[in-house]
Structure 1
């Protein structure tokens, strides 16, 4: 994905808390669009193969969550975690991880992921269609920087991680800020 690419306009089917509903599951459906998430903001988006999976739960999501203040210092308004999982799964994963700063985006049908060229088959793991691991800095819906793990392909035998790590993206933001200040 090249800098300057405008994100595709997609509708995400989300579940949001509504305490007026009451009961043990006080959530309602709420559709959100690409514009709802990205318009008028500078954000970090990272996407991963699946909620509750080892690398995603142990390193990537906690790293972005714990580094939120460092990203904010670099002019980031929000950090979004996307996966080809439904809203129920994404919400439960965020809850289980104790996430307060990173917001999850469910791409349940994989439409956004497909349209940005990151939808891969992971049948070798019994996952079906999922996202390849990547991160991006998005400014007002336009890609500013793209961090894609190497080896993009269907049924990859490994789960590369490093290029899309919070440390890599934060280092890029700091070096970009230094270059602009010089």
Structure 2
């Protein structure tokens, strides 16, 4: 069963790019005692993700943080190097680019999708959440498009 409002996020070890290379981080540490917006995309450098989803959060990062959000996290089933390069390509230095290279976080949330037909393998669904101290307060999922998961929609929900 997919994660839902009121559930605690699982504590899983993932990676971010640090000054000296990939660094392990625990999701429990990223969310503990903080209000966080996290959004997931099916793939870095893919059309909708690169043209609309990530850029919206980059543009609205200050507005989102002004509403009491401690951090904004972008996650995808991509490796740390890809997430880092994608973040740099879109000036996403105010966001945490969280690599879910093996899809463990997406699987634990039960928010995966099978993209093997298009040679992408198992990926994350497109979603956005507002999380307070590790507990899901809002969960929006888009099967197509960005109606529910855009930065603008999340900003309006804060």
**Please, what TM-score do these two structures have when normalized by structure 2?**
0.94
- Tell me if 1:167 matches 2:135: no
- Quote the Cα distance in structure 2 between the aligned partners of 1:49 and 1:140: 25
Deviations 1:110-156 (A, max 9, x none): 01100101111101221001000000000011101111114xxxxxx
Find the structure with the greater CA-based Rg.
Answer: 1
- Quote the Cα distance in structure 1 between the aligned partners of 2:18 and 2:57: 22
After the TM superposition, which residues 20-31 of structure 1 pair with which residues of structure 2 at under 5 Å, given as runs? 27=21, 29-31=22-24
Residue in 2 that maps onto 1:106: 99
- Tell me if 1:142 matches 2:135: yes
Task: Report the alpha carbon displacement of residue 103 of structure 1 after superposing the two structures with TM.
Answer: 1.3
Residue in 1 that maps onto 2:90: 97
Ranges in structure 1 where 5+ consecutive residues have no aligned partner = 19-26, 151-158, 174-182
Among 83, 87, 90, the alignment partner of 2:76 is 83
Ranges in structure 2 where 5+ consecutive residues have no aligned partner = none
Higher relative contact order (CA 8 A, sep 6+): 2
- Matched residue of 2:137: which SS? strand
After the TM superposition, which residues 29-108 of structure 1 pair with which residues of structure 2 at under 5 Å, given as runs? 29-108=22-101
In the TM superposition, structure 1's runs of 4+ consecutive aligned residues that sit over 4 Å from their partners are none
State the number of aligned residues. 156
Deviations 1:61-101 (A, max 9, x none): 11111101111121111100000001011011111112121
Among 6, 13, 22, the alignment partner of 1:11 is 13
| Larger strand fraction of residues | 2
CA RMSD of aligned residues (A): 1.2
